């Protein structure tokens, strides 16, 4: 079926204009600016997008669906998580494969991919997490890249943290393979010392989750990660950047020509550390924690000056009951918050309010993640030949986020009561309508796997 979207304001990262988009066989067949001849634009269905923005589908490049956490798992499986994504104008997600100790990378990939292909409602890819670094892992990374996982994540904290030597080996191996190293950058020794101190003195409320991982913990971690990447001569992607100090380290490295990409998340852009003093502070527990106002302002400056390359969510929610286990002891709180349904609407609302431009929102949520993670042949831009992942957005619709209107399996949202200016009205995935005016219209298993090569 051919679909023609007419008279909308088409917004890409590089340009914005009034025009028409012709879709055929799941692809964008043609794009015309107003006044250009489009005599070939015959269609089986025509949608009048007058007064609406026509945007590329967003890419949430950092989610955790069905993530095991001790003896529980994150509340959204691949179906619920991608259903929520679709209703938030996200048409592509990138999740993680995390092998168990002794399990091969490719065995873990096969299991994870099977779960996604049976349930996913939007297109999906995978990063490969490396909770351990061995000679066998270094060897098998080649197979992972061949299978389309061209990004590898390491952690500088937690029980599965890497040593400097292991981190350097990973960076060097990724450089050799043409892959990208991602890092959770927090200084393990400092946060461990602070955490132990607070536990010993009985300071275990949610506020002390933040106090055990203050801005300096991330700043030191980011600095060390950048130093190791510079020594390896390898590109680096820093996930969920939250602090002013970390932002300054990224900007300094980029000024000297180092290839460092920084991702931040909407929870860091909207909330501040004061949420941990609330009665429901445990619901906001994530790592790194939400920081102070100074850091929030630095992240917005980073967005405007290009220091922040992408905005993604780190979507990893747990239920109220699961979170409540840590109300009096932050060490028992499962880490993670929701956001994939809120990512693009929130960033577009900030654009609609004048904080950034709509083109910048598309750059951060669509074009840049497509470029960085090897999806730009098909995703991230409205142009002929790309997948017809298209969002219609009404800038004049006022919308207040409530749990009742969300499409996740989680029984609350940290975004409750947040007012947005403008909201998506339709989402198309490869030309198929999967969301319309608050209703999910997609199908379980319709998402396809996207092998990525940088």
Residue 409 CB: number of other CB atoms within 10 A?
Answer: 17
DSSP letter (8 states) at residue 15: -
pTM: 0.97
- Give the Cα separation of 314 and 316 in Å (integer): 6
pLDDT at position 40? 65
Q: Is the bond preceding 288 in cis, omega lying within 30 degrees of 0? A: yes
Between the two ends of the chain, the Cα-to-Cα distance in Å is 32
- Give the Cα separation of 311 and 68 in Å (integer): 24
Q: Give every CB contact of residue 264 below 8 A, 6+ residues apart in sequence.
A: 240, 241, 242, 299, 302, 303, 308, 310, 311
pLDDT at position 72? 85
Alpha helices in 215-319 (DSSP H): 215-232, 244-255, 266-270, 293-305
Stretch 187-201: mean pLDDT: 97
Residue 159 is encoded by which pair of tokens? Answer: 């029980």
Report whether 127 contacts 96 (CB < 8 A).
yes
pLDDT value at 195 more than 90: yes
pLDDT in tens, 80-114: 999 999 999 999 999 999 999 889 999 999 999 99
Stretch 8-15: mean pLDDT: 98
- Give the Cα separation of 430 and 207 in Å (integer): 44
| pLDDT > 70: percent of the chain | 99
pLDDT at position 39? 66
pLDDT in tens, 28-82: 999 999 888 676 678 999 999 999 999 999 999 999 999 987 788 899 999 999 9
Residue 48 CB: number of other CB atoms within 10 A?
Answer: 11
pLDDT value at 250 more than 80: yes
Stretch 383-406: mean pLDDT: 98
Of 297, 190, 188, residue with least CA distance to 247: 297
Which residue shows structure tokens 């500088």?
156
pLDDT value at 383 more than 90: yes
pLDDT at position 42? 83
Of 101, 108, 157, residue with least CA distance to 128: 108
Of 83, 81, 45, residue with least CA distance to 63: 81
Grouping H, G, I as helix, E, B as strand and the rest as coil, residue 184 is strand
pLDDT at position 102? 85
- Output the CA angle 452-316-133, nearest 5 degrees: 55
DSSP letter (8 states) at residue 385: T
Please return the burial class of 47, using the count of CB atoms within 10 Å of its CB with bins 0-12, 13-18 and 19+: buried
pLDDT value at 213 more than 80: yes
Grouping H, G, I as helix, E, B as strand and the rest as coil, residue 239 is coil
- Give the Cα separation of 332 and 82 in Å (integer): 27
Q: What is the pLDDT of the chain when averaged over all its residues?
A: 97
Which strand (E) or helix (H) includes residue 110?
helix 105-119
pLDDT in tens, 288-330: 999 999 999 999 999 999 999 999 999 999 999 999 999 999 9
């Amino acid at each position: 079926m051919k679909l023609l979207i007419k008279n909308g304001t088409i917004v890409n990262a590089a340009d914005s204009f009034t025009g028409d988009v012709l879709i055929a066989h799941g692809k964008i067949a043609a794009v015309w600016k107003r006044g250009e001849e489009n005599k070939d634009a015959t269609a089986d269905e025509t949608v009048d997008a007058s007064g609406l923005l026509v945007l590329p589908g967003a890419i949430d490049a950092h989610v955790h669906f069905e993530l095991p956490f001790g003896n529980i798992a994150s509340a959204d499986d691949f179906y619920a998580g991608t259903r929520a994504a679709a209703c938030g104008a996200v048409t592509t997600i990138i999740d993680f494969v995390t092998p168990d100790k002794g399990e091969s990378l490719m065995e873990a990939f096969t299991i994870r991919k099977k779960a996604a292909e049976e349930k996913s409602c939007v297109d999906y890819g995978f990063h490969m997490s490396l909770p351990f670094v061995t000679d066998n892992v270094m060897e098998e990374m080649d197979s992972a890249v061949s299978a389309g996982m061209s990004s590898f994540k390491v952690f500088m904290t937690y029980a599965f943290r890497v040593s400097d030597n292991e981190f350097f080996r990973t960076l060097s191996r990724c450089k050799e393979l043409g892959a990208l190293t991602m890092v959770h950058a927090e200084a393990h020794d400092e946060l461990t010392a602070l955490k132990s101190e607070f536990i010993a003195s009985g300071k275990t409320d949610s506020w002390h989750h933040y106090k055990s991982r203050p801005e300096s913990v991330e700043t030191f971690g980011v600095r060390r990660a950048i130093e190791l990447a510079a020594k390896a001569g390898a590109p680096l992607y820093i996930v969920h950047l939250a602090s002013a100090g970390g932002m300054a380290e990224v900007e300094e490295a980029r000024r000297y020509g180092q290839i460092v990409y920084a991702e931040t998340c909407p929870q860091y852009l909207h909330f501040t550390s004061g949420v941990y003093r609330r009665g429901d502070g445990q619901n906001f527990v994530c790592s790194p924690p939400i920081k102070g106002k100074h850091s929030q302002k630095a992240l917005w400056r980073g967005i405007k000056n290009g220091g922040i390359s992408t905005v993604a969510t780190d979507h990893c929610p747990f239920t109220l009951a699961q979170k409540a286990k840590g109300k009096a002891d932050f060490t028992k709180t499962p880490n993670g918050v929701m956001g994939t349904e809120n990512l693009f609407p929130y960033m577009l609302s900030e654009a609609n309010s004048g904080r950034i431009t709509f083109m910048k929102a598309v750059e951060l949520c669509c074009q840049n993640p497509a470029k960085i993670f090897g999806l730009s042949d098909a995703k991230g831009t409205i142009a002929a030949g790309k997948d017809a992942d298209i969002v219609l957005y009404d800038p004049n619709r006022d919308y207040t986020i409530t749990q009742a209107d969300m499409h996740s399996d989680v029984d609350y949202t940290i975004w409750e009561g947040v007012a947005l200016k403008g909201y998506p009205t339709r989402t198309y995935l490869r030309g198929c309508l999967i969301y319309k005016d608050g209703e999910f219209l997609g199908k379980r298993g319709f998402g396809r796997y996207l092998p990525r090569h940088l």
